[in-house]
């Protein structure tokens, strides 16, 4: 009898010990604080940076870079094997994929809403002015009259996963929309992997969600538009606090050159064929998606302050912050009412 009691007590103690072991083990797992992960690297001829909280502490850099490579194979003009590169070489055997078609359809919507101020067929003009496609000749003014017939978003369409051009000299330039789109793609990847707090930046195009490592909204600096092609001079105009939004800035203070004493910036009006000349220095756009923010920021740099504000106010959940020069040459700021909530 005593033996049975001792055995029963032993088994009870064993069960309690095992239960206590698993409890303490699970408590350690629960108490262990998962740290934010930071990755950075190069992509699309620029850089990327990602900071995120993955619930299981899994580093997602390889997955992100694999997805960015997949994206490049569609829309990177820096990759000669990409879909867009084949299209620009008039290779009729190439088929458009989901990345290209999403970019194309979004670009067309923005083109129509901005009366052609945004246009992905601007490629021939970009090349002629020496801002892309391997041409960096800044010594002469191109013959715009001969180039404009090769530009126009209504001159291209997609049928059966094939881009059809009305003119074989048309070049598709997605640089003003692709980086923003790629930020959306990586943001989706992070969310699919359980991340509810993150910030992804690709070439300055930002998507953020949740909170930063300090438990606060993500703080982003908007550069003061100071002419500097080396990008070595950085001074902040203001700082914004963001969460669950995309943000991108376009400006003419990084890419430009002087010819015969006149400044020629990289933002080209596809309707006139010439680099824009007005008092808008930079346009920052906050929108639900980065592809939208990226495209409209570029369009706003073409159409100027007043038209930008008018269009921005007509689009739900979009706001903008514009820096311009007044009649006395001093920098001034104007923004939509909705942008106030982001400014610290």
Average pLDDT, the chain: 88
213 inside domain: yes
Selected residue with higher pLDDT from 251 and 335: 335
Which residue did the predictor score with more confidence, 87 or 14?
87
Confidence of residue 266 (pLDDT cuts 50, 70, 90): confident
- Provide mean pLDDT across the span 2-29: 41
Q: In angstroms, what CA-CA distances link 158 with 95, 105, 330?
A: 10, 9, 46
Name the β-bridge partners of 15: none
- Could you list the residue range(s) of the whole structural domain that residue 292 is in? 37-342
315-325 pLDDT, tens digit per residue, is 999 999 999 99
Query: Please, which pLDDT band fits residue 4 given cuts at 50, 70 and 90?
Result: very low
Please report the pLDDT score of residue 114 as a whole number: 97
Average pLDDT over residues 199-204: 96
**What was the pLDDT predicted at 284?**
98
Q: What is the pLDDT of residue 129?
A: 84
pLDDT by residue (tens digit) across 156-165? 999 999 999 9
Which pLDDT band holds residue 142 (cuts at 50, 70, 90)?
A: confident
- pLDDT score of 265: 73
Lowest-pLDDT range, 50-59, 68-77, 183-192, 219-228? 219-228
Residue 189 has pLDDT above 90, yes or no: yes
Residue 29 has pLDDT above 50, yes or no: no
pLDDT in tens, 211-248: 999 999 999 999 988 765 555 667 899 999 999 999 99
Please report whether residue 143 resides in a domain.
yes
CB 180 within 8 A of CB 294: yes
Q: How confident is the model at residue 256 (pLDDT cuts 50, 70, 90)?
A: low
Is a pLDDT exceeding 50 seen at residue 128? yes
Nearest alpha carbon to residue 177 among 89, 50, 84, 274: 84
Phi, psi (rounded to 5 degrees) for 107: -60, -40
pLDDT band with cut points at 50, 70 and 90 for residue 78: confident
Residue 56 lies in a domain: yes
Structural domain includes residue 310 = yes
User: How far is the first Cα of the chain from the last one, in angstroms, to the nearest whole number?
Assistant: 77
Q: Among the listed ranges 7-16, 68-77, 117-126, 245-254, which one has the minimum average pLDDT value?
A: 7-16
Residue at 220 is within a domain: yes
Rounded Cα–Cα distance for residues 7 and 91 (Å): 82
- For residue 134, is it within any domain? yes
pTM of the model: 0.87
Residues 302, 269: contact at Cβ < 8 Å? yes
**What is the domain-level CATH number for residue 214?**
3.10.520.10
pLDDT (0 to 100) of residue 1: 41
Residue 3 has pLDDT above 60, yes or no: no
How many domains is the chain built from? 1
Domain-embedded: residue 23:
no
Tell me, what's the pLDDT at 334?
97
Within a domain: residue 6?
Answer: no
3-state secondary structure the chain: CHHHHHHHHHHHHHHHHHHHHHHHHHHHHHHCCCCCEEEEEEECCEEEEEEECCCCCCCCHHHHHHHHHHHHHHHCCCCCCCHHHHHHCCCCCCCCCHHHHHHHHHHHHHHHHCCCCCCHHHHHHHHHCCCECCECCCCCCCCHHHHHHHCCHHHEEEECCEEEECCCCCCCCCHHHHHHHHHHHHHHHHHHCCCCCEEEEECCEEEEECCCCCCCCEEEEEECCCCCCCCCCCCEEEEEEECCEEEEEEECCCCEEEECCEEEECCECCCCCCECCCCEEEEEEEECCHHHHHHHHHHHHHHCHHHHHHHHHCCCCCEEEEEEECCCCCEEEEECHHHHHHEC
């Amino acid at each position: 009898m005593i033996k049975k009691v001792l055995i029963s007590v032993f088994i009870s103690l064993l069960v309690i010990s095992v239960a206590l072991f698993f409890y303490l083990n699970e408590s350690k797992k629960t108490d262990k604080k998962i740290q934010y992960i930071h990755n950075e690297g190069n992509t699309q001829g620029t850089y990327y940076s990602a900071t995120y909280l993955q619930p299981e502490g899994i580093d997602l850099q390889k997955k992100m870079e694999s997805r960015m490579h997949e994206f490049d194979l569609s829309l990177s003009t820096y990759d000669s094997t990409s879909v867009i590169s084949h299209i620009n070489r008039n290779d009729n055997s190439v088929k458009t994929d989901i990345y290209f078609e999403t970019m194309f359809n979004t670009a067309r919507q923005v083109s129509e809403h901005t009366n052609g101020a945004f246009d992905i067929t601007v490629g021939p003009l970009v090349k002629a002015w020496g801002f892309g496609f391997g041409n960096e000749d800044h010594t002469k003014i191109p013959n715009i009259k001969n180039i404009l017939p090769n530009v126009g978003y209504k001159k291209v369409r997609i049928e059966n996963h094939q881009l059809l051009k009305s003119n074989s000299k048309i070049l598709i330039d997605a640089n003003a929309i692709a980086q923003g789109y790629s930020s959306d793609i990586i943001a989706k990847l992070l969310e699919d992997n359980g991340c509810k707090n993150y910030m992804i930046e690709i070439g300055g195009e930002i998507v953020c969600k949740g909170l930063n490592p300090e438990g606060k909204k993500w703080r982003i600096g908007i550069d003061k538009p100071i002419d500097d092609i080396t990008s070595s001079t950085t001074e902040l105009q203001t700082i914004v606090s963001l969460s669950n939004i995309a943000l991108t800035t376009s400006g003419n203070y990084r890419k430009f050159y002087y010819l015969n004493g006149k400044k020629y910036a990289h933002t080209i009006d596809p309707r006139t064929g010439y680099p824009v000349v007005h008092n808008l220095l930079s346009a920052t756009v906050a929108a639900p998606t980065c592809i939208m923010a990226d495209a409209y920021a570029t369009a706003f740099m073409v159409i100027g302050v007043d038209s930008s504000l008018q269009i921005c106010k007509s689009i739900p959940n979009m706001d903008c912050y514009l820096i311009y020069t007044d009649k006395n040459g001093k920098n001034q700021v104007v923004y939509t009412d909705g942008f106030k909530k982001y400014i610290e």
